[in-house]
Structure 1
Amino acid sequence: MAIRLLSFLLCFLCSLPACSQLPLVLDSGMQHVELSPYASLLRDASGTMTIDDVVAARAEVPLQKTFNAGFTKDALWVRIEITGNEGHPHDWILEVNNAVMDDVRLYGKNKAEGWKEWVSGEDIPRSRWPVQYRNPAFRINLKEPGPHTFWLRIASRNSISAQLSLWAPDVFSNRARDEYLAYGLLFGTYAMIIVFYLFFWISTGEIVSGWYTIYVANSLFQMLISFGFLQEHTGLPGRITDHVLAFLICSSIWIGARLSAGVLELPRVMPRLNRYLVGAATAGFFVTISLVAVKGYAAGVGLAQIIAATEVLFIIGISTYLWYRGHRPAGLYLLAFGLFCAGILVRVMRNFTLLPPNFATDNGFQIGAVLHMLVMSMVIMDRYNAMKAAAGRAQAEALRVKAEREAYLNVEIKKRTASLTQEITRRESMEIELRQSLDVEKQARQEQLDFVAMVSHEFRTPLAIIDTCAQRILGTVPSAITQERCSHIREASYRMTRLMDEFLSLDRINGDLRAFSPREEEIEAIVQKAVSEWHPGSIEVTYVERPQSVLCDTALLHVALRNLLANAIRHSPQDSSVHLRISVHEERAVKFEILNSGQEIPADEIPKLFQKYFRGRGAQGSPGSGLGLYLVERVAKLHNGSVSVLSSQEGSCFSLIIGEA
């Protein structure tokens, strides 16, 4: 982020107005000339003008000291006129010192052939470049006498700003060699820092060193692309490198904010400001990268540079404030960026001829960047050492507190152990008392159950006698009143017998009387016994598929079938029959379906039908205990089966499945 911002500042300062155009006159002592003061500019808004159109237009204006047009869709034509004195060198190299220019074309006029074109730039394959160098460069020959006019056409998606230089070939080669050495040292330093802090990040987990690694890697790749080294050695076209560079520039907004916040310890000293800063930087990254994708490189990167400039000024302001308040990391942070700015300033002063050209001034930017990275490394290490010292103090304090705590706990453990020993002794005595009470309760319960079983057995004999006598009276063809009374007697006797069966079956299912004892039983015998308790014709039996036998507890299954049949008959219209359908279910299981044509069961009552003591609205006013269907479900579960119901306006169907796998 800082690199792009300060490079932008460099180009801006170098673009300040200069004197009017002067003719360039070469002499034998010249080896390097800056061409901007001797050039004029013509803008081609349509981008379609040819060299002949430009020559005929004659509408150029003097160029400023540094060629800087910013982001523009215009094609820019630069006119350079060179006159040589006797004895001046003939061969020269014209360099456009910007590696990310997309289309650069040089036109020179030859008396015999007319205008000749040389092409270079990122959109031109490297094999067609006249000089294999990181920047567009052209070989020109001034052997013919008289003034020589050259036209330089530049069009680019990137910001158009460059130095136009004329070099003697040997000086150009020496300068390129020195430049590659300087950049090699710079990139080597960057790579060393990246590797060191990557391992440091992995080994320590210190998050700021991680952001610093990402920051340095981002800066390194920006320089590799901006200075043309990546394109020179890989041949990647401008369309690809533009998108990569745009992503790096836009992401540097977010990366720089996260790194600066970590170095300045903003999450600790200014947590709210830290959230605002990181949030704004994150939003800036997404907005600018979206603009690059939708509107193009210039729209997104231009806004990213504005946001980056604002962010840097804001962070420098925060750093200055914190440094004034005695915050040590802020002072180191300002020192790191101060060295970087000093390198930029040296380069600017050299471009304005305020400092002589030499290795130090030519590479002031690189030297400032290296010093910046070294001081930033010192900042990170200082922060890590401070954190390590704080962690050591915290650990020592923790050990002291732990020792005091252990001593306190030892005393408390002894107290609690004595208290627990007393409590265990007390609870053991209570357990003995409870076991004795439980044995007494079990004995009382068993005596109660034995009494209930005895009473129920004793009740069955008189009830059977009452029922038999009532049947005999009915067999003598008595009067209508006597028949009605005998029927009431039989119904009361039957209801009493059924209630006793339900309550005794419930106790048995709960395991109070004896264990569940299934065995193989004939299906027809079970069905006949269940149907025989009702008048002939009131129940219709159908075998869909006749099973031979079923593994069941006969008594419990009889109770379940009787309850289902009684429930169906009770809720059926008079003179209608109930259907009992038997079928095989999944090989070994048996399915009993009891269908009646009674009223539809309300939907809200269906989930409650098999609950204990539940009686629906249709059963209100009729005798019953609410245990019938509950017993059916318990019997089904004991037999590894299930019971369900479907009800509609045509009637209801209860399905009892016994013996599922």
Structure 2
Amino acid sequence: MLFSAAMKCLSFIRPPFIHLPLILFVFAVLLPLSGFAQSALTLQSGVRQFSASGHMSLLHDAGGRMTADAAQSSDSWKALPGAASAGYTSDTIWLRLEVERQADAPQDWSVRFTNPLLDDVRLYRPDGAQGWSEQAAGENLGRSNWAVDARNVVFPVRMEAAGREIWLVRLQSKNAMSTGLEIWPRTAFNDFSRREYLYYGLYFGFYVLLIVLHAFFWRMTREAQSGWYLLYVSLHTLTELMTVAIPQQLFDMPVGVSDPLLGMSICCSLAVGVYFAVQQMELPAMRPRFSKLVLASACGVAAIGIGLILAGRFAAGMILVQQLAMLLVVVFISLSLWMLIHGHKPARFFLLAFGIFYAGVVVSFLRNMAVVPTNFWTNHAVAIGALLHMTLMSLRLNLRYDELRRDKEMAQAETVRAVRQLNDSLEDQVARRTAALQQEIAQRVQLEQELRKALDVERRIKEEQQDFVAMVSHEFRTPLAIITTTAQQIAKNLDAVREKTLTRCQNLRNAAHRMAALVDEYLTADRMEDSATAFKPVSCDPRQLIEGIVNEWPQGRISMSLQPLPAQFTCDKGLLQVGLRNLLSNADRHATSGQAIHVQAEAREEGARHTLCISVRNRGELIPEDEVPRLFQKYFRGRSAQHKPGAGLGLYLVKRIAEMHAGEVWLENDAATGSVTFSLLLPDNKSDALNPAAPAPASASAMEASTA
């Protein structure tokens, strides 16, 4: 009759496409109510699991004072069509079950209660001496004292003799009194336990994955709905974990902690779930006052529920929260249907995603209130509905994020186009202004470069002037001192011996000659830099030129090694004489006393290029490596030349002469022989013009005076 009445109610529901799911749901929930009969539960061999549904009787013990004998002898037993379901009750519930073990059935069994949140469970079996043996478990006892470490209450039972036994079960719980009773062969139960933990690992692994993904998603986007959904999923996951008692088993959590934590998570889930549902329907934009009223009601009832739970009235708090949840389910479903009829698009998805979840919540509530029986579907209705609900919501949020991202990209593209148009309109003005600025900057840069060059030239001239003054004051002081001293000696000794007077006159002539040579060197250097006289290459005999310069020195002071040389070589004869004299003078000052200076000359051919290489080598102190880079600089004198005559211009003049001939000069230190060699390489300038990069040289006659 109940089934037919339900079908009659379904006939008034439209549209017709929802008939089939509702019919299947009614079959799954109400079919166990039809045609039950109480009989003994026969335990056979080869069966993995036996359900006591349809084989039990139920007895209410209002005061909880009955003993097992009193309960057995009571005439108030009522047959149960399925599992035990008494809702939220403070009564003690007794269950009676007659069990018959066949001779070929196993002796060791596991008795499992499907509700993991029972506070006090006691199993009574005949002890063979007109009494009862008792096994106790439940949240009040503490899980560490249970006979079997499991999520649910499990009693190990050994039936040694075949035949019938009457079992009595005493139940107490603050939670909903709804549980099934299963009897498993011991080995089959062990296999089932392993599979069950695997299933729960996959189930909660899915929720953990959702939490992690949406945590990263929310951290990247900081989008409000993502944050609320993350809180929504986290609270639901906590509630599911506490409902199936996994934390209680893992951490041996006492009932004084687990029940308040479960109750508070359910209350918080109500408030957050209502807020999330209101946002998904976009209700604040359409009905702002109604939305605020609903949210305030949910938050208020959740707070009252938490207060009742903390005050020790767990059942009262849960009933209040669940009744409001059922009312809001009806309100939200009705409102979303009305909004769907009026063309509100979010209502369509709300009915799909939240309708599945709300259906599971309603079934669970009806089971807790003992309106529908306890079976697999009613026990797992919330879990199945929540899994589908969370999956759909995650997809919805991802699609919404993609939509927002596309809108943002379109807005950015539109902004870029507007900016580009604005830029195009300003480009001409900017280009004109930029050109003017670039021209002005170029002029300023050019002016700055010219100023820098002028400053560098001025700084260099100043440094050279300072070096020149210091050099002149040092070099002229010695011959002037000689002249002064000698003149004083002559004045004091007018009657001195003629030979001594002649010697002193010779000293005067030598000092004057040295001063004249210094003056000529300075003048020659200046003329090489400032004179406008052209470079005048002429054809000459290189052998005759070198021998002529060498013959100016005392016999034996210089040795020559002249390889076959061309009869004619084009160069500036006067400049080459100046350069060779300076190399010989430098070698003479630094050569070891008593050691001859060696001059070597040879002709070289480098392809079509004919060159003349003149080398001047002397034994003496090697030139330090740190002085080599500065050796050909103007006025530079090394450490070994500080106490010797000279102005630091000789090697500088040699380098300038080499550059004027497009040649080069270099130094070679030979540590093995203790010799220093300067080599001058000059190309044949028969058809070469003046090097445009070099300043115009002075006349050869003026340079020859530097060696006088």
Superposition pairs of residues 445-524 of structure 1, within 5 angstroms: none
Question: Which one of the candidate residues 181, 185, 188 is aligned to 1:164?
Answer: 181
Could you give the per-residue CA deviations for residues 418-455 of structure 1, whole angstroms, max 9, x where no partner exists? xxxxxxxxxxxxxxxxxxxxxxxxxxxxxxxxxxxxxx
Cα distance in 2 for residues equivalent to 1:32 and 1:143: 19
Match of 1:82 in 2: 99
| Equivalent residue letter for 1:310 | L
| Equivalent residue letter for 1:305 | Q
Match of 1:293 in 2: 310
**Across the two proteins, how many residue pairs are aligned to each other?**
393
Cα distance in 2 for residues equivalent to 1:241 and 1:343: 23
The alpha-carbon distance between structure 1 residues 392 and 43, as it changes in their structure 2 partners (threshold 3 A), is same
Mapped pair 1:144 → 2:161: yes
Cα distance in 2 for residues equivalent to 1:374 and 1:252: 18
Superposition pairs of residues 124-523 of structure 1, within 5 angstroms: 124-294=141-311, 296-340=313-357, 366=383, 368-396=385-413
Mapped pair 1:50 → 2:58: no
Cα distance in 1 for residues equivalent to 2:194 and 2:143: 20
Consecutive unaligned residues of structure 2, counting only runs of 5 or more, are: 1-25, 366-374, 428-708
Cα distance in 2 for residues equivalent to 1:270 and 1:396: 34
Cα distance in 1 for residues equivalent to 2:221 and 2:350: 22
* CA RMSD, 1 decimal: 3.5
TM-score normalised per structure 1: 0.54
Q: Residue 94 of structure 1 aligns to a residue in which SS?
A: strand
Question: Which one of the candidate residues 122, 126, 133 is aligned to 1:109?
Answer: 126
Cα distance in 2 for residues equivalent to 1:155 and 1:278: 35
Say which one has the larger Rg. Answer: 2
Contact 1:18 1:37 in 2 (8 A): no
| Equivalent residue letter for 1:103 | D
Q: By how many angstroms is 1:121 displaced?
A: 0.9
Q: Which deviates further from its counterpart, 210-219 or 336-345?
A: 336-345
Contact 1:20 1:37 in 2 (8 A): yes
Q: Residue 47 of structure 2 aligns to a residue in which SS?
A: coil
Cα distance in 1 for residues equivalent to 2:47 and 2:281: 50
The alpha-carbon distance between structure 1 residues 157 and 89, as it changes in their structure 2 partners (threshold 3 A), is same
Question: Which one of the candidate residues 15, 38, 49 is aligned to 1:21?
Answer: 38
Match of 1:100 in 2: 117
The alpha-carbon distance between structure 1 residues 14 and 251, as it changes in their structure 2 partners (threshold 3 A), is farther
TM-score normalised per structure 2: 0.51
| Equivalent residue letter for 1:329 | P
Q: By how many angstroms is 1:288 displaced?
A: 2.0
Match of 2:78 in 1: 61
Q: Residue 163 of structure 2 aligns to a residue in which SS?
A: coil
Contact 1:70 1:160 in 2 (8 A): yes
Cα distance in 1 for residues equivalent to 2:80 and 2:151: 24
Q: Residue 118 of structure 1 aligns to a residue in which SS?
A: strand
Q: By how many angstroms is 1:14 displaced?
A: 8.9
Cα distance in 2 for residues equivalent to 1:130 and 1:95: 12
Q: By how many angstroms is 1:144 displaced?
A: 1.9
Match of 1:566 in 2: none
Superposition pairs of residues 555-574 of structure 1, within 5 angstroms: none
The alpha-carbon distance between structure 1 residues 76 and 281, as it changes in their structure 2 partners (threshold 3 A), is same
Contact 2:29 2:378 in 1 (8 A): no
Q: By how many angstroms is 1:240 displaced?
A: 0.8
| Equivalent residue letter for 1:66 | A
Q: By how many angstroms is 1:282 displaced?
A: 1.6
Match of 1:70 in 2: 87
The alpha-carbon distance between structure 1 residues 26 and 161, as it changes in their structure 2 partners (threshold 3 A), is same
Cα distance in 2 for residues equivalent to 1:346 and 1:288: 21
Match of 1:32 in 2: 49
The alpha-carbon distance between structure 1 residues 15 and 68, as it changes in their structure 2 partners (threshold 3 A), is farther
Could you give the per-residue CA deviations for residues 315-365 of structure 1, whole angstroms, max 9, x where no partner exists? 2233333344444433333332455578899999xxxxxxxx99x999786
Q: Residue 132 of structure 2 aligns to a residue in which SS?
A: strand
Cα distance in 2 for residues equivalent to 1:407 and 1:317: 56
Could you give the per-residue CA deviations for residues 2-42 of structure 1, whole angstroms, max 9, x where no partner exists? xxxxxxx9998699576242222233343322113111111
Contact 1:15 1:66 in 2 (8 A): no
Contact 2:333 2:355 in 1 (8 A): no
Cα distance in 2 for residues equivalent to 1:169 and 1:162: 21
Cα distance in 2 for residues equivalent to 1:272 and 1:405: 45
Q: By how many angstroms is 1:173 displaced?
A: 2.1
Q: By how many angstroms is 1:63 displaced?
A: 1.9
Cα distance in 2 for residues equivalent to 1:268 and 1:210: 20
| Equivalent residue letter for 2:237 | L
Q: Residue 36 of structure 1 aligns to a residue in which SS?
A: coil
The alpha-carbon distance between structure 1 residues 257 and 345, as it changes in their structure 2 partners (threshold 3 A), is closer
Cα distance in 2 for residues equivalent to 1:11 and 1:220: 26
Contact 1:182 1:363 in 2 (8 A): no
Q: By how many angstroms is 1:264 displaced?
A: 2.3
Q: By how many angstroms is 1:164 displaced?
A: 1.1
Contact 1:66 1:162 in 2 (8 A): yes
Contact 1:38 1:63 in 2 (8 A): yes
Q: Which deviates further from its counterpart, 39-48 or 106-115?
A: 106-115
Q: Residue 76 of structure 2 aligns to a residue in which SS?
A: coil
The alpha-carbon distance between structure 1 residues 17 and 217, as it changes in their structure 2 partners (threshold 3 A), is farther
Match of 2:462 in 1: none
Q: By how many angstroms is 1:163 displaced?
A: 1.2
Q: By how many angstroms is 1:141 displaced?
A: 1.9
Cα distance in 2 for residues equivalent to 1:71 and 1:10: 25
Contact 2:43 2:50 in 1 (8 A): no
The alpha-carbon distance between structure 1 residues 211 and 132, as it changes in their structure 2 partners (threshold 3 A), is same
The alpha-carbon distance between structure 1 residues 108 and 200, as it changes in their structure 2 partners (threshold 3 A), is same
Contact 1:106 1:151 in 2 (8 A): yes
Q: By how many angstroms is 1:404 displaced?
A: 8.6
Q: By how many angstroms is 1:179 displaced?
A: 1.8
The alpha-carbon distance between structure 1 residues 239 and 179, as it changes in their structure 2 partners (threshold 3 A), is same
Contact 1:183 1:366 in 2 (8 A): no
| Equivalent residue letter for 1:150 | W
Q: Identify the structure with bigger relative contact order (alpha carbons < 8 Å, sequence gap 6+).
A: 2
| Equivalent residue letter for 1:75 | T
The alpha-carbon distance between structure 1 residues 183 and 220, as it changes in their structure 2 partners (threshold 3 A), is same
Q: Residue 103 of structure 2 aligns to a residue in which SS?
A: coil
The alpha-carbon distance between structure 1 residues 14 and 296, as it changes in their structure 2 partners (threshold 3 A), is farther
Q: By how many angstroms is 1:79 displaced?
A: 0.8
| Equivalent residue letter for 1:235 | D
Contact 2:329 2:358 in 1 (8 A): no
